[in-house]
């Protein structure tokens, strides 16, 4: 991507630029923004072109920023860019958000593209996403080491009165909010919530390995096995060794498959409830 102003700084005259446009060596994407050559323009290049077309101070933002940070899947529609309110440019095929007050802590760069930071992006998303989608976005940001709940809480205290902050605070302060690694784990946690079973800890290291879910008061470990994992004999053997280590430490381990959680939730709830009831009775008797 290159702008007309950048070409001029490199010494290209108006006529030289026009000649390259007429011969196809430069192809216009937006007013004053060109791609070099006639090849197909990739998604990241279109993002960069949109930011360049919006002028100084522009940042990729909202859903487009979430796509760039990989906390949300790509969506159809125009690329979204935030610009200062005094900015005059409004290129076609770009959704422009005019806003003031974006400071250094809101501005980042990813893959060379100016973009709102992960925290600012989550705040912007919180206005338009439902609770489940917002929780998923926060989990993805944490999984990618872009932000963690503690630093997000601190940042929100510095953003009083801003749209999106109340929704994120409610999410983080909700007693049932837990971090999970995958959609499968989120589905399992939703089952636990639906029948008001005791809430497990997540991402807990137990006996030297990280487990999906752990009830320390009951001595119960639950692992959720997704479709992408546990396909090889070596991986299956590793899982058995992990379960044996937990058993030697006096813990109970349950494993639920993708198929069970996705298509047989009542069975999962029934087994989990009966095991928890049995473990709770055993602890009380002891």
Q: What is the pLDDT of residue 100?
A: 85
What percent of the chain has pLDDT above 90? 50
Evaluate if residue 228 carries a pLDDT over 50.
no
Average pLDDT of the segment spanning 111-136:
95
Whole-number average pLDDT of the chain: 88
Q: Residue 175's closest CA among 156, 150, 151, 201?
A: 201
Q: Supply the pLDDT for residue 229.
A: 38
- pLDDT (average), residues 103-123: 95
Q: What is the pLDDT of residues 55-82, one digit of tens each?
A: 889 999 999 999 999 999 988 889 999 9
Position 230 confidence tier, pLDDT thresholds 50, 70, 90: very low
Name which residue leads in pLDDT, 230 or 107.
107
Would you state the pLDDT for residue 231?
Answer: 46
Nearest to 172 by CA among 205, 135, 209, 201: 135
Is the confidence at residue 127, as pLDDT, over 70? yes
Q: Identify whether the C-beta of residue 67 lies closer than 8 Å to the C-beta of residue 76.
A: no
Q: Give the domain ranges of the chain.
A: 1-41, 42-173, 183-285
Q: Determine what percent of the chain is predicted with pLDDT higher than 70.
A: 95
**pTM of the model as a whole:** 0.72
Provide mean pLDDT across the span 32-55.
88
Confidence of residue 283 (pLDDT cuts 50, 70, 90): confident
Q: Considering only residues 182 and 227, tell me which one the structure prediction assigns the higher pLDDT.
A: 182
CATH architecture type of domain 183-285: 3-Layer(aba) Sandwich (3.40)
Q: List pLDDT tens digits, range 171-214.
A: 988 767 777 777 788 889 999 998 888 899 998 999 999 999 99
Task: Pick 179 or 42 by higher pLDDT.
Answer: 42
The Cα 33–Cα 249 span in angstroms is: 64
Mean pLDDT of 81-106: 85
The pLDDT value recorded for residue 87 is 64
Q: How far apart are CA 99 and CA 87, in angstroms?
A: 9
Task: Give yes or no for residue 278 having a pLDDT over 90.
Answer: yes
Looking at residue 200, its pLDDT comes to 94
- Over residues 160-172, the mean pLDDT reads 91
Q: How many residues does the chain have?
A: 286
The sign of the torsion formed by the CA atoms of 2, 4, 9, 15 equals: positive
Nearest CA to 34 out of 16, 15, 20 is that of: 20
């Amino acid at each position: 991507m290159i702008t007309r102003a950048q070409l001029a700084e490199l010494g290209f005259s108006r006529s030289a630029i026009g000649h390259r446009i007429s011969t196809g060596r430069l192809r216009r994407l937006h007013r004053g923004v060109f791609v070099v050559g006639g090849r197909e323009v990739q998604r990241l290049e279109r993002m960069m072109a949109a930011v360049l077309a919006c002028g100084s101070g522009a940042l990729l933002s909202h859903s487009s920023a979430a796509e760039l940070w990989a906390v949300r899947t790509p969506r159809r529609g125009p690329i979204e860019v935030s610009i200062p309110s005094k900015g005059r440019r409004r290129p076609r095929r770009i959704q422009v958000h005019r806003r003031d007050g974006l400071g250094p802590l809101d501005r980042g760069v990813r893959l060379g593209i100016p973009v709102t930071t992960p925290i600012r992006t989550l705040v912007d998303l919180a206005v338009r996403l439902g609770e489940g989608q917002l929780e998923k976005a926060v989990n993805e940001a944490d999984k990618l080491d872009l932000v963690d709940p503690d630093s997000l809480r601190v940042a929100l205290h510095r953003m009083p009165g801003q749209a999106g902050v109340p929704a994120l605070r409610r999410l983080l302060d909700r007693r049932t909010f837990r971090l999970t690694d995958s959609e499968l784990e989120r589905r399992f946690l939703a089952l636990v919530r639906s029948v008001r079973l005791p809430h497990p800890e997540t991402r807990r290291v137990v006996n030297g390995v990280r487990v999906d879910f752990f009830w320390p008061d009951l001595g119960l470990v639950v692992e959720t096995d997704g479709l992408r994992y546990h396909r090889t004999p070596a991986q299956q053997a590793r899982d058995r060794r992990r379960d044996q280590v937990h058993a030697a430490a006096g813990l109970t381990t349950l494993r639920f498959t993708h198929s069970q959680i996705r298509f047989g939730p009542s069975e999962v709830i029934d087994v989990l409830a009966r095991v928890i009831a049995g473990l709770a009775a055993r602890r009380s008797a002891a």
